[in-house]
Each structure stands twice: as C-alpha cells, then as structure tokens.
Amino acid sequence: MPAHPLEPRRTPPGGRALKTVERILEATALLLDEVGFDALTTNAIAERAGVNVASLYKYFPNKYAVLTGLAERMRDEQLALIRRPTEPGAWREELATLLDVFLDLFVSRPGFATLASVLSSSAPLREIDEASLAAEARALSERLAEYGVEGSRADREAIARVALEAARGVLPLARRAGPARRKRLMRELRRMLEAYLAGHIEG
C-alpha cells in the first residue's frame, strides 16, 4: 500500500457533490498557475474553491489525490484530442490542427502547463505522470500506424513519445509568450514535427 493513495475517495454520486469536486479541481488548477506547486496547500485550495477543507478530504484522500484528479482530467482531454479521427492522407493538416488544439488546451485550461512539470518533479506523482504519458504516446502511435509508419510497436511509441515531449516542452512556453513570439514558436514546432514525421511517414 502506497504512502499516498491517489484514488478519489468515492465516486461523487453526482448532483451537488460533483459540483464540489469540480470546484476543487478548478481552484487547484488556478492556484497552480498563480503560486506554483510548492505554495499550493489544501487549505488554500479549499478556500479558493469556496468549500471547507474537511469537504475536500471527503472527496480526496490527500493532497496528491487532488493533483492526480487534475492530471487524469488533463490526460483524458489530451487523449481525446489525439484520438479524434480525421480524414486520412492529410497528415500535415492534421498535425497542424492537433498543435492548434493542444495550444488551445494549454492556454485556456489553467494549471495544465504547470501541472505537466509538477508531475515529473514530485516523487508521489511520477508514476501517474509516466502512465499518462505512456498512454498518450500509445494513442499517438496508433495514429502513426494508421499513417503507415513502420517499425515495431516500441519504435512507433518512441517516435510518438519524442514528438509528444517536444510539444510538451514548447507549448507552455508558447502559452507565456506574446502573440509574435507565440506564432514563431508554434511555427517552428510544427516545422520540426513535420520534418520529423515526414521522414517516418513518407520516407
């Protein structure tokens, strides 16, 4: 049994409890961006969410479970984007679109950009971090397979993972940048991924 059980305490029965969980996660996300990881406290989260700390602990067994909840949400949204089907053949267009929606995700969803680095700098969260990234890489590698990328499963997953890591590095940066710099960064990111994937898809 791990020191920090990360599973939510009980599936919120729906209705008003769900709204409570929602507000806790949202407050967590906002605070993460505002004050960073190490100033994030459960008391602050509860206050910001407008709920009592004891309520927070009713739905999450501990602090890390809250972050885990947020991480799962982030992972699910990213998975959904990756899996969203598109017309085959137009991989360059799809890549461009995917980068756009990912940027949108990182920009419009507070906390996501910060959460990504939090997950890999905190020991209790590393596991979920790696699992999430592996899942995303797997999903992406399946798309690569559709596009005819060859090699072993592991090869394709490595390709996917490398592409993902590149995006995960640049997106938070683009988020913080002004419009001109953001455009430049996104353009270069797209170029890099295009050049890279072209070798695998077309080569």
Comparison of 75 and 168: residue with beta carbon closer to a copy of itself: 168
Nearer to DNA, 12 or 172 (CB): 12
Q: Which of 51, 203, 80 is nearest to 139 (CA)?
A: 80
Do residues 125 and 64 make contact, with C-beta atoms less than 8 angstroms apart?
Answer: yes
Site string for a copy of itself, 143-182 (x = CB under 8 A): -----------xx--xx-xxxxxx-xxx-xx-------x-
> Look-up: residue for tokens 């559709």?
146
Which is closer to a copy of itself, CB of 110 or CB of 172? 172
Place of tokens 């890999």: 120
Residue 74 beta carbon to DNA: minimum distance, rounded to whole angstroms: 20
**Nearest-CA neighbor of 97 among 201, 194, 175, 20?**
194
Q: Which stretch binds DNA (CB under 7 A): 17-25, 71-79, 95-103, 143-151?
A: 17-25
Out of a copy of itself, DNA, none, what residue 161 binds, judged by CB under 5 to 8 A for its kind, is a copy of itself
Burial classification of residue 117, based on how many CB atoms lie within 10 Å of its CB (0-12 exposed, 13-18 middle, 19 or more buried): middle
Taking the complex as a whole, the smallest distance from the CB of residue 71 to DNA amounts, in Å, to 16
Amino acid at 147: Y
With vertex at residue 148, the alpha carbon angle to CA 132 and CA 159, rounded to the nearest 5 degrees, is 35
Q: How many residues does the chain have?
A: 203
Q: How far apart are the C-alpha atoms of 25 and 31, rounded to whole Å? A: 10
**Binding of residue 13 to DNA (CB under 7 A):** yes
Name which of residues 39 to 78 contact DNA (CB under 7 A): 39-44, 51-58, 61-63
* Residue 74 binds a copy of itself, judged by CB under 8 A: no
57-to-3, 13, 51, 70, 140 alpha-carbon distances in Å: 16, 16, 11, 15, 35
Rounded CA-CA distance 31/10 in Å is: 24
Q: 40 or 193, CB closer to DNA?
A: 40
Sites of contact with a copy of itself (CB under 8 A): 34-39, 114, 117-118, 120-124, 126, 154-155, 158-159, 161-166, 168-170, 172-173, 181, 184-185, 187-189, 191-193, 195-196, 198-199
Sites of contact with DNA (CB under 7 A): 4, 12-13, 15-17, 19-20, 39-44, 51-58, 61-63
